């Protein structure tokens, strides 16, 4: 039988070669990965999970969690990774909206999520890490030990759904981007080719795996190339410094690079053997580009991607990696600039003008889960996806991202839409209205700032911050709340967030 994504990802892996190496020296070979993912697929099958069923997963980072994704691919289930910072109310929405048949959570959260699963007629199982011992625990691990380490993969075509990734919506609730087997595999093949990944690569993996960057780029490219990963639970500066000499490549967000540069141990000698440093998920400041090259002799390769498309463009592996740009379209991907007023593509002679970035290619998702009208609104008549990002293509063909038409905030590499935060703030007692913007932050790239107009005479920003904590993941919570008498508006009554961003831009300057 043919399973499009699985067969592609595991085509070149040597069964005895290391797939993942842990900081304590333990390792998983490709054979180990195949065997454990087969066990998990058998477990899911015993739970009644069928091809097309959604499996929602909110668990700590582990190799076992990665192999749960592979197990879903093998049996044709749809993998739905959830940010570990999401609150119970947020998880409830995702489970309900997706119609998830199974929710996998961290063992300590089982009691918390029991009613949630019952309310949504969703089976609840667990997968986590034993804090002291460091090994995987939970009901899935227990069940996997009792089944066979072999599984006959379910036949899946390239057009079949492989995953749903939720992305925040400008009008409130999140949207589920549907990604097919071919969306994921085609993108991994393009990146492997462009970034020259091979069996000799050792990727230092410190990214989260509930995000496109850490799972569908870092893990998939490693599998496709038959290379290995040094698999860290997250970004820890001391561990990163310790493991860099054993690595050939690193994929990170700008925060990784700014924190490394601030450590005196991060030297040219430490990374002289390295082949590639990739940055994405948020803009890398030009000053960081320059400082990184001066410190290490390497130039960071910056790329551009999003939940709905995975990666779209990249600076070249060979050639100028131009600061302030995200390079050229990946092989098989087409990027054009559309007129933001008419929606029509700009002519080649005017492509250097700022307009809407539109994408076409095998990487582009098929639409939003159960949102046909929203899906239709996000695509041009000729099939190009309207990204919502404003950009231009310079005379040399490099793509520049100059703004975000939907006011998206990217903090620490994570996407935050202001409207979602505003809805929570506006629902609090004593609040008349609010406006949320992103402002420059030296560590996170951007920080969430809320300007709040009270409905009465008394409103304390500290108290308000405490009240919204249970309703928003930590990375979405404002780092600053300012109480104001009114919000700036234009003659049409629209809040002028550009004025707020300008006034608050130095809130976190150092």
CB atoms under 10 Å from CB of 198, counted, come to 12
**Of the candidates 381, 404, 427, which is a domain's last residue?**
404
Percent of the chain as helix, strand, coil, to the nearest 5: 30, 25, 40
Nearest Cα neighbor of 231 from 82, 453, 63 is: 63
Predicted confidence (pLDDT) at residue 170 exceeds the cutoff of 50:
no
**Of the candidates 404, 429, 446, which is a domain's last residue?**
404
Identify whether residues 382 and 445 lie together within a single domain: no
Identify whether residues 167 and 314 lie together within a single domain: no
Identify whether residues 305 and 352 lie together within a single domain: yes
Predicted confidence (pLDDT) at residue 171 exceeds the cutoff of 50:
no
pLDDT tens digits, 110-124: 999 999 999 999 999
Whether 458 is in a domain gets the answer yes
Q: What is the spatial distance between Cα 38 and Cα 44, in angstroms, rounded to a whole number?
A: 10
Identify whether residues 40 and 169 lie together within a single domain: yes
**Of the candidates 190, 206, 239, which is a domain's last residue?**
190
pLDDT of 510: 58
Whether 290 is in a domain gets the answer yes
The least confident of 153-162, 318-327, 412-421, 471-480 is 412-421
Structural domain containing residue 50: 4-18+27-190
Give the distance between the most distant pair of CA atoms in the chain. Answer: 69
pLDDT tens digits, 303-346: 999 999 999 999 999 999 998 899 999 999 999 999 876 778 88
- DSSP letter at 213 equals I
Identify whether residues 351 and 476 lie together within a single domain: no
Whether 67 is in a domain gets the answer yes
Identify whether residues 396 and 416 lie together within a single domain: no
Nearest Cα neighbor of 476 from 77, 191, 168 is: 168
Identify whether residues 155 and 87 lie together within a single domain: yes
Q: Is 196 left (phi over 0), alpha (psi -120 to 50) or beta?
A: left
Q: What is the spatial distance between Cα 329 and Cα 393, in angstroms, rounded to a whole number?
A: 11
pLDDT tens digits, 375-393: 999 999 999 999 988 888 9
Whether 245 is in a domain gets the answer no
What is the pTM (predicted TM-score) of this model? Answer: 0.85
Whether 54 is in a domain gets the answer yes
Q: What is the spatial distance between Cα 225 and Cα 197, in angstroms, rounded to a whole number?
A: 6
Whether 268 is in a domain gets the answer no
Predicted confidence (pLDDT) at residue 475 exceeds the cutoff of 80:
yes
Identify whether residues 389 and 452 lie together within a single domain: no
- Mean pLDDT of all residues in the chain? 91
pLDDT of 207: 94
Whether 251 is in a domain gets the answer no
CATH number for the domain including 37? 3.40.50.12780
Instruction: Go through the chain and tell me how many residues it has.
Output: 510
Identify whether residues 362 and 466 lie together within a single domain: no
Predicted confidence (pLDDT) at residue 32 exceeds the cutoff of 50:
yes
Identify whether residues 431 and 371 lie together within a single domain: no
Nearest Cα neighbor of 95 from 150, 138, 53, 133 is: 53
pLDDT of 419: 79
- DSSP letter at 329 equals E
Tell me the pLDDT band of 93, cut-offs 50, 70 and 90. very high
Strand 355-360 relative to strand 385-393, pairing: antiparallel
pLDDT tens digits, 245-270: 999 999 998 889 989 999 999 999 99
The answer to whether 361 and 387 have CB atoms below 8 angstroms apart is no
Domains contained in the chain, number? 3
CB atoms under 10 Å from CB of 480, counted, come to 15
The answer to whether 371 and 354 have CB atoms below 8 angstroms apart is no
């Amino acid at each position: 039988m043919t399973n499009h994504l699985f067969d592609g990802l595991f085509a070149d892996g040597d069964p005895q070669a290391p797939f993942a190496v842990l900081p304590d020296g333990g390792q998983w070979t490709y054979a180990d990965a195949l065997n454990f993912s087969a066990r998990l697929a058998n477990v899911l099958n015993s739970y009644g999970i069928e091809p097309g069923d959604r499996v929602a997963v909110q668990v700590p980072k582990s190799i076992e969690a990665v192999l749960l994704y592979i197990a879903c691919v093998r049996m044709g289930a749809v993998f739905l990774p959830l940010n570990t910072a999401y609150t119970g109310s947020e998880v409830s929405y995702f489970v309900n909206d997706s119609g998830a048949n199974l929710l996998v959570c961290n063992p300590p959260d089982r009691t918390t999520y029991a009613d949630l699963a019952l309310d949504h007629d969703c089976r609840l199982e667990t997968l986590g890490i034993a804090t002291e011992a460091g090994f995987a625990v939970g009901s899935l691990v227990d069940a996997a030990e009792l089944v066979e380490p072999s599984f006959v993969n379910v036949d899946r075509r390239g057009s079949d759904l492989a995953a749903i990734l939720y992305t925040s919506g400008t009008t409130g609730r999140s949207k589920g981007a549907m990604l097919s087997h071919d969306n994921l595999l085609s993108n991994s093949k393009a990146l492997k080719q462009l970034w020259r990944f091979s069996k000799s690569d050792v990727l230092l993996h410190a990214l989260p795996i509930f995000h496109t960057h850490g799972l569908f780029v870092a893990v998939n490219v490693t599998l496709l190339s038959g290379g290995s990963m040094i698999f860290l639970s997250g970004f820890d500066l001391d561990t990163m410094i310790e493991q860099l000499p054993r690595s050939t490549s690193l994929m990170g967000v700008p925060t990784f690079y700014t924190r490394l540069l601030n450590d005196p141990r991060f030297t040219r000698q430490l990374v002289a053997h390295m082949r590639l440093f990739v940055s994405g998920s948020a803009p890398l400041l030009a000053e960081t580009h320059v400082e990184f090259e001066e410190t290490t002799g390497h130039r960071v390769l910056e790329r551009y991607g999003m939940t709905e498309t995975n990666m779209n463009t990249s600076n070249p592996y060979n050639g100028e990696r131009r600061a302030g740009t995200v390079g050229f379209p990946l092989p098989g991907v087409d990027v054009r600039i559309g007129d933001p007023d008419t929606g029509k593509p700009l002519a080649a002679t005017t492509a250097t003008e700022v307009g809407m970035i539109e994408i076409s290619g095998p990487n582009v998702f098929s639409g939003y889960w159960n949102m046909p009208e929203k899906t239709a609104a996000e695509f041009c008549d000729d099939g190009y996806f309207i990204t919502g990002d404003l950009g231009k293509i310079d005379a040399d063909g490099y793509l520049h991202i100059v703004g975000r038409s939907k006011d998206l905030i990217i903090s620490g590499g994570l996407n935050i839409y202001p409207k979602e935060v505003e809805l929570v703030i506006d629902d609090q007692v004593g609040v008349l209205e609010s406006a949320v913007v992103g402002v420059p932050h030296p560590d996170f790239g951007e920080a969430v700032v809320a300007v709040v107009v009270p409905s009465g005479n008394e409103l304390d920003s500290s108290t308000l911050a405490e009240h919204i904590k249970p309703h928003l993941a930590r990375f979405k919570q404002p780092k600053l709340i300012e109480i104001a008498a009114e919000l700036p508006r234009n003659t049409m009554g629209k809040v002028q967030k550009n004025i707020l961003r300008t006034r608050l831009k130095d809130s976190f300057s150092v």
